[in-house]
């Protein structure tokens, strides 16, 4: 709007005004509430009532939420079992070498259920100090390849796990460090010598299965590259969309300590049940001192066991309630008449200025 104005005025200066066109009757700006900046508007102001009600509102909303979240979190039963050091047979010092050497690395653990756990009980593995969010790692994947069989050779982003022996002719599917380092510990649970079925279906996002991992893409040349094995190998007869462990793993974690869903136990676990776990301790976290934990957990509407939200909500709600009280007191004890001109700086000290 402004630009047009300057343009026309410069044209006038340049002598290019059209003489034939009659001069506008008046340049008087047309009145409108918009141009005069008089549009109806709400002008909020922090009156004591507003301030106190704002604080009260926050506390009224937050405290119940806090209580609810806290209850939800307390309802969740979580069993965490750290096993990476216990599962190294005694007497072995070079843990890295042990884990890299092929062989049976099964390990038995027993877990006592502290409280009744309602089904489904989620089985997670938790890794520590594993920077799945490292830039090198996050980028080391090819989404095109995962989705579509025809883009199998689209591996430019996957180095150094792109092609077999770096020849460039045999692409690894799925390529990249993420897939290569697929977690390969396995767990099997039994209660009272009865096998507990771990359901590994639907542990990944449906959207991932349907759209990101192609049903016609089969693993090729996977873990066949070089001397260093990163992790699990995949069944070359199953399409990627059915390799749910891979799909879960490929959703890289946000933080260096993370859990990933292993499966679901679809029966209730009773209090004091003793569950024995047979696990294959294959995954090498020893080279970077990573912990490995097995987690069994139920969920609530809020997710897993985490008191943080509840405590935070309660704290903030409480603080706001306290502030509301403080300000109520302040306004009672030392009220300031709002909009009193005598408070204006030049009225307060009449001598000055």
Residues 114-133 that bind other proteins (CB under 8 A): 124, 126, 130-133
Q: Taking a C-beta distance cutoff of 8 angstroms, is the pair 139, 182 a contact?
A: no
Q: Exactly one of 316, 318, 321, 328 binds other proteins (CB under 8 A); which one?
A: 316
Interaction between residue 138 and other proteins (CB under 8 A): yes
Q: Exactly one of 69, 145, 241, 243 binds other proteins (CB under 8 A); which one?
A: 69
Long-range contacts of 325-331 (CB under 8 A, 24+ apart): 327/48, 327/51, 327/52, 327/55, 328/52, 331/48, 331/52
Q: Exactly one of 22, 37, 101, 104 binds other proteins (CB under 8 A); which one?
A: 37
Distance of alpha carbon 127 from alpha carbon 105, whole angstroms: 18
Q: Is residue 180 within a helix (H) or strand (E), and if so which, with residue range? A: helix 177-180
Q: Exactly one of 197, 228, 274, 329 binds other proteins (CB under 8 A); which one?
A: 228
Distance of alpha carbon 302 from alpha carbon 76, whole angstroms: 10
Q: Exactly one of 135, 192, 332, 333 binds other proteins (CB under 8 A); which one?
A: 135
Task: Select from 31-39, 104-112, 113-121, 236-244 the region that touches other proteins (CB under 8 A).
Answer: 31-39
Q: Taking a C-beta distance cutoff of 8 angstroms, is the pair 158, 130 a contact?
A: no
Interaction between residue 81 and other proteins (CB under 8 A): no
Q: How far is the CB of 155 from other proteins (least distance, A)?
A: 13
Interaction between residue 303 and other proteins (CB under 8 A): yes
Q: How far is the CB of 243 from other proteins (least distance, A)?
A: 17
Q: DSSP secondary structure string, 4-16?
A: HHHHHHHHHHTT-
Interaction between residue 101 and other proteins (CB under 8 A): no
Q: How far is the CB of 183 from other proteins (least distance, A)?
A: 10
Closest CA to 137 of 184, 183, 185, 181: 181
Instruction: Report phi then psi at 4, rounded to 5.
Output: -65, -35
Q: Pick between residue 195 and residue 227 the one whose CB is nearest to other proteins.
A: 227
Interaction between residue 64 and other proteins (CB under 8 A): no
Distance of alpha carbon 180 from alpha carbon 130, whole angstroms: 14
Q: Could you say which residues in the range 171-210 bind other proteins, by CB under 8 A?
A: 177, 180-181, 205, 207-208
What count of Cα atoms within 13 Å lies in the side-chain half-sphere of residue 48?
15
Identify the bridge partners of residue 73 per DSSP, sorted by sequence position: none
Q: Taking a C-beta distance cutoff of 8 angstroms, is the pair 247, 205 a contact?
A: yes
Q: How far is the CB of 148 from other proteins (least distance, A)?
A: 10
Task: Select from 84-92, 104-112, 193-201, 249-257 the region that touches other proteins (CB under 8 A).
Answer: 249-257
């Amino acid at each position: 709007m402004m630009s047009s104005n300057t343009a026309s005025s410069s044209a006038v200066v340049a002598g290019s005004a059209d003489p034939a066109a009659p001069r506008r009757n008046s340049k008087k700006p047309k009145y409108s509430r918009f141009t005069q900046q008089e549009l109806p508007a709400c002008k909020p102001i922090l009156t004591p009532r507003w301030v106190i009600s704002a604080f009260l509102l926050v506390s009224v909303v937050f405290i119940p939420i806090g209580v609810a979240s806290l209850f939800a979190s307390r309802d969740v039963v979580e069993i965490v079992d750290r096993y990476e050091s216990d599962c190294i047979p005694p007497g072995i010092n070079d843990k890295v070498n042990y884990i890299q050497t092929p062989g049976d690395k099964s390990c038995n653990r027993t877990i006592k259920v502290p409280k009744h756990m309602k089904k489904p009980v989620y089985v997670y593995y938790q890794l520590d100090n594993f920077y799945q969010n490292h830039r090198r790692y996050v980028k080391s994947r090819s989404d095109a390849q995962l989705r579509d069989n025809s883009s199998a050779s689209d591996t430019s982003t996957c180095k150094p796990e792109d092609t077999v022996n770096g020849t460039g002719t045999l692409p690894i599917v799925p390529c990249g460090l993420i897939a290569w380092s697929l977690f390969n510990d396995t767990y099997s649970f039994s209660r009272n010598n009865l096998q507990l079925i771990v359901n590994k279906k639907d542990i990944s996002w449906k959207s991932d299965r349907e759209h990101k991992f192609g049903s016609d893409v089969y693993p090729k040349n996977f873990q066949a590259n070089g001397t260093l094995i990163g992790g699990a190998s995949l069944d070359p007869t199953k399409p990627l969309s059915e390799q749910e462990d891979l799909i879960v793993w490929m959703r890289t974690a946000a933080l260096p300590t993370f859990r990933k869903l292993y499966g679901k136990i679809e029966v209730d676990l009773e209090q004091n049940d003793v569950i024995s776990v047979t696990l294959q301790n294959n995954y090498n976290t020893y080279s970077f001192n990573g912990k490995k934990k097995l987690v069994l957990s139920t969920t609530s509407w809020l997710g897993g066991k985490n008191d943080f939200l509840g405590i935070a909500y309660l704290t903030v709600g409480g603080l706001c309630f306290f502030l509301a009280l403080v300000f109520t007191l302040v306004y009672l004890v030392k009220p300031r008449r709002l909009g009193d001109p005598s408070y204006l700086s030049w009225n307060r000290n009449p001598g000055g200025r």
